[in-house]
Amino acid sequence: MSIKIVYFASLRETMGRASDSINLANLDQTTLSVQDAWTQVTGLDEISTDVLIAVNQEYTSADMLLKEGDEVAFFPPVTGG
Amino acid sequence: MAEQLNIPREIRIIESLFDPFQLQKEYQASSLKERTDYGAMVSFIGNMRDFNEGDIVSSMELEHYPAMTQKKLDKIVDQASEQWAIQNVFIVHRVGKIFPGEPIMMVAVWSAHRAAAFDACRFLMEELKHRAPFWKKEQLVSGDSRWVDKNTDGYSKP
């Protein structure tokens, strides 16, 4: 089991891929927050205020702690309708 | 007053051109069949414009987050039904390639009285615009393409 990270729209294009996966067993730390996951996949420190976060398809904040099997989504402001 | 939860609703994400009036008619004929308790129906239809931010737009691509879209829209309908005495909600949203003049989405609300129908429809629209995971990428006549930055506040005057 691992944590799946998905990207959408302009963020997917910037990342150059639609998803990543983080295996908790391969990390030194015992807990992983959304912020940590962001740093792992992007190499960047802060999550820009223009990036929205959802964990298991529910909006959440960067300090949420993740568990095995979670799906984290990072995306720009939504523009439907 | 808190209203009922789990009101009947249909949420449809579609990839092809649709006729909003035809779908409303069909929905009403099947889901509100033989009902005579609704006194109001309000619907909003969003169409694709051929201009945005001073440029002429030739088409656009609508992307979404399939696993989240239905879930989020369902939640927005629940929130509306907690605030207003609405009876039925029908939401249709296009994804994929869309051309100017085509409908992008539709929200229809049925209730006993007009106030709830008007207010809930407006709420559903604004929530959908700001919370539902859809993104538009515009193709300009100049050949450039660009992602739409963000949706504007629907309550501010143009």
CATH number of the domain encompassing residue B117: 3.90.1170.40
Across the interface, whether the CB atoms of B131 and A59 are under 8 A apart is answered yes
Across the interface, whether the CB atoms of A80 and B129 are under 8 A apart is answered yes
Chain A environment of B130 (Cβ under 8 Å):
78
pLDDT, tens only, B106-149: 999 999 999 999 999 999 999 999 999 999 999 999 999 999 99
Mean residue pLDDT across chain B? 95
Correct CATH for A3-75 of 3.40.50.170, 3.40.50.720, 3.40.50.450, 3.10.20.30: 3.10.20.30
Give, as one character, the DSSP assignment of residue A25: G
Across the interface, whether the CB atoms of B134 and A76 are under 8 A apart is answered no
Handedness of CA B73, B92, A72, A13 (dihedral sign): negative
Distances (CA, A) of B157 to B1, B21, B22, B105, B152: 30, 27, 31, 22, 10
Whether residue A27 has pLDDT greater than 70: yes
- Predicted local confidence at residue B3, as pLDDT: 58
Would B13 be classed as within a structural domain? yes
**Amino acid, res. B101:** G
**Distance between CA A67 and CA A31 in Å, rounded?**
8
Count of domains for chain B: 1
Q: For residue B137, what are the domain limits?
A: 9-147
Q: What ipTM describes this predicted complex?
A: 0.94
Q: Could you tell me the pLDDT band of residue B74, with boundaries at 50, 70 and 90?
A: very high
The answer to pTM > 0.90 is yes
Q: For residue A75, report the phi and psi dihedrals to the nearest 5 degrees.
A: -155, 160
Would B1 be classed as within a structural domain? no
